[in-house]
Structure 1
Amino acid sequence: MRRLFPVTDQTAAAETTEGAPGGGDREWSLAELAAAYAYPEPEPEPEPEPDHGPGGGGPGVWLRANMVSTLDGAAQHDGRSQPISSAADMRIFGTLRALADVVVVGAETVRQEGYRPARARAEFAAARQAAGQGPVPAIAVVSAGLGLDFSLPLFTSPLVPTLVLTGAAAPADRVAAAERAGARVVVAGDGPGVDPARAVAALATLGHRRLLTEGGPRLLGQFVAAGVLDELCLTVSPLLTAGDAQRIAGGPSVAVPRRFELASLLEEEGFLFSRYRRV
């Protein structure tokens, strides 16, 4: 793997020094990947104003998305992302999960990708403990109708309880089924659906500050439209698939395009691993 951006004197030197930290065409360690994708430090809490009680805000929350796309813009092939991924992409996928407090995913993606509970990684155990995190990130499934199979291990045997984000008008029998399976139901909308901004706020209330969403495209589009996405980690796969697969984000278009800036760019075997942050 090579760092293409940002370019520094150290980066340039590393390109010619085998095994030098942060550069060179070699496999990066998980520790290096974790450092490269570290969440930003939270903004300091505002000082309370005199005679106005405690200040607002609280600890900062950062919502990051991780998606993969082919050269011609497909986010999936045959309904799944795995065929357009790579070994390096999966290493970054695992690293991003290990850094997160919670992984937010849409119900359709859970069904299509066969989601299972997050697994504990010995390589990240000490870092998670030092950061005050549990052994694994919680999985938070966003669903309006709760048309999910609650007998799956994702709900019945995770290391930490799976969260189900839904609206106040969700079917009562499905809410009860989720709770019987051991999931924690979190209301984040007044109707049957979930309000993206309320979902982020609800997760923050539960102590989840480092958020990661893995889509699918409809959910990512909702986060984009709501203006709550802070960072996009996009893998560009050197493949062409044609067809009519979805882009990484779907749904209604925004009135004004959201501007992001390039934060970093890595490359391995033709795959580009980019990070863009909201301006």
Structure 2
Amino acid sequence: MTDDEVYAAYAPLAPDWLRVNFVSSADGAATLEGLSGPLSGAEDKRVFKVLRARCDVLVAGSGTVLAEGYGPLVLSPERMAWRRAQGLPEVPVMAIVSRTLSRLSPRAGIFAEAPRRPIVICPRDLPEARIEPLREVADIIETGVGTVNLKGAMGVLRERGMGQILCEGGPRVFGELIAEDQVDELDLTLSPLLAGAGAVRIAEGRETAEARRLELRHVIEAGGNLILRYVRGSTDE
């Protein structure tokens, strides 16, 4: 597939659209040795980069940001050129979800070297002394008590003109988005690996009252990987 074909394959279906991107092993593990990176390969990373280029804002939990070693959100010159041609800023905004802020440093590259000012999403009842250092390097969205209200946070992002939302996890953030019925699309790569018992699933945390129906939009086989795109389906089927 050409780059144009990959971009077209992931065209959003509405101006406000929340997609979640994950890779898992063939037996359902979200991590290998505690990280998702070892499950990914060149084929998965190609889709990963296209999804980043297509979004207005990239949302990730602080645990994922720290474990996977996220740096400043930057794109290749080719991806930035594609965004300019679509009338978009050269890079998306990075938004980090944290219940406590205890492990986020304003000196980290994800803040200090960011090409666009990041966003931090946290509960509104945290002590101001914990939030204040991050106000210097990020915009703060305070929502929820004791935990982050992700539904409310997604609403604030949309109010700020960031309708195309990409979430890269982790599993607890994804689980909460499912529980709040916020997910419009799941982009899932099945890696040809068996991880065995012990690893987490791609969604963890709060249980949901009922399963959400998805429709399979495409299946791409590349390098032994199955690259799947699911979108929100009708509840009448």
Q: Could you say which TM-score interval applies, normalised by the shorter chain?
A: over 0.9
Structure 1 residue 183 displacement after superposition: 1.1
- Contact 1:166–1:192, Cα closer than 8 Å, also in 2: no
- Contact 2:81–2:90, Cα closer than 8 Å, also in 1: no
Pick which of 202-211 and 165-174 moved more.
Answer: 165-174
- TM-score between both structures, scaled by the size of structure 1: 0.80
1:151 to 107, 125, 128: 107
User: Does structure 1 residue 212 correspond to structure 2 residue 212?
Assistant: no
Structure 1 residue 131 displacement after superposition: 3.3
User: Does structure 1 residue 78 correspond to structure 2 residue 78?
Assistant: no
User: Does structure 1 residue 230 correspond to structure 2 residue 178?
Assistant: no
User: Does structure 1 residue 160 correspond to structure 2 residue 133?
Assistant: no
2:49 to 90, 94, 117: 94
SS of residue in 2 equivalent to 1:211: strand
1:247 to 201, 205, 223: 201
Structure 1 residue 196 displacement after superposition: 1.6
Q: What is the root-mean-square deviation in Å for CA atoms of aligned residues? A: 1.3
The correspondence of residues 117-196 of structure 1 with structure 2, limited to 5 A, is 117-147=72-102, 148-180=104-136, 182-189=137-144, 191-196=145-150
- Contact 1:65–1:229, Cα closer than 8 Å, also in 2: yes
Higher RCO (CA 8 Å, separation ≥ 6 residues): 2
Report the residue type matching 2:198 in the other structure: D
Post-superposition CA distance 1:36-80 (Å, at most 9, x none): 1111243xxxxxxxxxxxxxxxxxx10000001111110001111
Aligned match of 1:108? 63
SS of residue in 2 equivalent to 1:266: strand
**Cα separation, 1, equivalents of 2:146 and 2:132:** 15
Report the residue type matching 1:107 in the other structure: S
- TM-score between both structures, scaled by the size of structure 2: 0.94
Aligned match of 1:35? 8
**Cα separation, 1, equivalents of 2:199 and 2:138:** 31
**Cα separation, 1, equivalents of 2:13 and 2:232:** 13
Report the residue type matching 2:95 in the other structure: A
- Contact 1:104–1:211, Cα closer than 8 Å, also in 2: yes
Post-superposition CA distance 1:248-270 (Å, at most 9, x none): 00012211111111011101121
User: Does structure 1 residue 66 correspond to structure 2 residue 39?
Assistant: no
Report the residue type matching 1:205 in the other structure: E
Post-superposition CA distance 1:113-154 (Å, at most 9, x none): 011111132223343224332111111000111121221110
Moved over 3 A (4+): none
CA pair 132-198 structure 1, distance change in 2 beyond 3 A: farther
Aligned match of 1:52? none
SS of residue in 1 equivalent to 2:13: coil
Unmatched 5+ residue regions in structure 2? none
Structure 1 residue 107 displacement after superposition: 0.8
**Cα separation, 1, equivalents of 2:76 and 2:13:** 22
SS of residue in 2 equivalent to 1:124: helix
SS of residue in 1 equivalent to 2:219: strand
- Contact 2:22–2:168, Cα closer than 8 Å, also in 1: yes
Report the residue type matching 2:3 in the other structure: L
Report the residue type matching 2:201 in the other structure: R
Pick which of 29-38 and 64-73 moved more.
Answer: 29-38
CA pair 232-29 structure 1, distance change in 2 beyond 3 A: same
Report how many residues are paired: 232
**Cα separation, 1, equivalents of 2:208 and 2:43:** 32
Report the residue type matching 2:186 in the other structure: L
**Cα separation, 2, equivalents of 1:68 and 1:149:** 27
